[in-house]
Amino acid sequence: MSGEPAMDPAEGVVLGVSWGADAAACQAALGPLVADAGGDEATRRAQVASPLALVGARWSVALVFEFDALCAVVLQAEAGPDAFAGATLPRLVALAERWFGARPSRRDEGYWQVEAGATRLTVDLLEGTLTFEDTDA
How far apart are the C-alpha atoms of 121 and 14, rounded to whole Å?
10
What band does 122 get if pLDDT is binned at 50, 70 and 90?
Answer: very high
pLDDT digits (tens, 9 = 90+) for 99-114: 999 999 999 999 999 9
Give pLDDT tens digits for 22-73. 999 999 999 999 987 666 778 999 999 999 998 889 999 999 999 999 999 9
Question: Which spans in 3-87 are helix H?
Answer: 23-30
Reduced DSSP (H G I as helix, E B as strand, rest coil) percent helix, strand, coil of the chain, to 5? 20, 40, 35
The full set of domain ranges for the chain reads 9-134
CB 101 within 8 A of CB 118: no
pLDDT in tens, 5-23: 788 998 999 999 999 999 9
Give residue 38's pLDDT.
66
Tell me the β-bridge partners of 72.
Answer: 64, 133
Which residues face 64 on adjacent strands?
Answer: 45, 72
pTM for the model stands at 0.92
